Amino acid sequence: GQQLNQSPQSMFIQEGEDVSMNCTSSSIFNTWLWYKQEPGEGPVLLIALYKAGELTSNGRLTAQFGITRKDSFLNISASIPSDVGIYFCAGRVYGGSQGNLIFGKGTKLSVKP
Amino acid sequence: GAGVSQSPRYKVAKRGQDVALRCDPISGHVSLFWYQQALGQGPEFLTYFQNEAQLDKSGLPSDRFFAERPEGSVSTLKIQRTQQEDSAVYLCASQTGPSTDTQYFGPGTRLTVL
């Protein structure tokens, strides 16, 4: 099935460092979402974006909906050990099915104390 | 309960067996989704219900996969004649209604087909 291009695949960082990850698509998206998944659990929504250029923060997390509507990034500032997990971007293709979310392959984040 | 629950959490099946996976959405949530997540991959959409109506089943990989939500609440994903490539985590998510974007995911059922 169709998936987004998410990078990097994995990151190993020191506690306190900032993190940046992004997603790109060949299709125009009308919604971008960022999720975090921990082992044995389902994804949990972190940030939702609805307009091109929109910049939204949730605590130490900041995400932006790209101007071209084909990309999005997520930044995490001053990382802490509990940030460990897999981060997924997801979105809905413009004109696509109401229910159909398309997910990236995930960025696995490891934080060294 | 407060969240989406799924059962069983783990299922081991022999190739060729039929399995049934259950999802209990958040009470009152109109929309329900099933996703398949292979190891190391993101979730992939399988099917979508609004109340008891299955509005999109375009992601079901074959006619061995069947989902139902007869009373608009609990949903069951059935896989007939399981194959090894069916091994994955099956995630269920529910949403207040079609006009919102917050999908609440359950913990998933990990299916292993031997």
Give the model's pLDDT for residue B85. Answer: 96
Place of tokens 């099956």: B90
Give the model's pLDDT for residue B61. Answer: 93
Query: Which pLDDT band, with edges at 50, 70 and 90, does A65 fall under?
Result: very high
Are B62 and B47 spatial neighbours (Cβ–Cβ below 8 Å)? no
Mean pLDDT, range B81-106, rounded to an integer: 90
Q: Is B45 in CB contact (< 8 Å) with chain A?
A: yes
Q: Which of A33, A40, A43 sits opposite B101 (nearest CB)?
A: A33
Give the model's pLDDT for residue A82. Answer: 95
Taking an 8 Å cut-off on Cβ atoms, the answer to whether B56 and A43 are in contact is no
Query: Which pLDDT band, with edges at 50, 70 and 90, does A99 fall under?
Result: low
Give the model's pLDDT for residue A96. Answer: 62
Mean pLDDT, range A25-44, rounded to an integer: 92
Pairing of strands A107-112, A85-93: antiparallel
Burial environment of residue B46 by CB neighbours within 10 A (0 to 12, 13 to 18, 19 or more): buried
Percent residues over pLDDT 70 in chain A: 92
Please name the residues in contact with A107: beta carbons below 8 A apart, sequence gap of 6 or more. A6, A7, A8, A9, A10, A11, A21, A86, A87, A88
Distances (CA, A) of A3 to A73, A93, B24: 16, 11, 27
Query: Which pLDDT band, with edges at 50, 70 and 90, does A101 fall under?
Result: confident
3-state helix, strand, coil in chain A (%, to 5): 5, 55, 40
Q: Is B18 in CB contact (< 8 Å) with chain A?
A: no
In chain B, residues with a C-beta closer than 8 Å to the C-beta of A42 are 4, 91, 93, 105-108
Query: Taking Cα atoms as reference points, which of B17, B7, B37 lies closest to residue B114?
Result: B17
Query: Which pLDDT band, with edges at 50, 70 and 90, does A95 fall under?
Result: low
In a 13 Å sphere around the CA of A105, the CA atoms on its Cβ side amount to 14
Tokens of B39: 């190891």
Q: Cα separation of B74 and B95, whole Å?
A: 13
Give the model's pLDDT for residue B103. Answer: 87
Mean pLDDT, range A96-112, rounded to an integer: 85
Give the model's pLDDT for residue A3. Answer: 66
The model's pLDDT over B63-91, given as tens digits with 9 standing for 90+, comes to 999 999 999 999 999 999 999 999 999 99
Q: Cα separation of B8 and A71, whole Å?
A: 37
Residue to test with chain A: of B32, B105, B109, B110, most A Cβ within 10 A = B105
Percent residues over pLDDT 90 in chain A: 78
The model's pLDDT over B9-54, given as tens digits with 9 standing for 90+, comes to 999 999 999 999 999 999 999 999 999 999 999 999 999 999 999 9
Q: Cα separation of B105 and A68, whole Å?
A: 29
Are A41 and A94 spatial neighbours (Cβ–Cβ below 8 Å)? no
Q: Is B48 in CB contact (< 8 Å) with chain A?
A: yes
Give the model's pLDDT for residue B102. Answer: 81
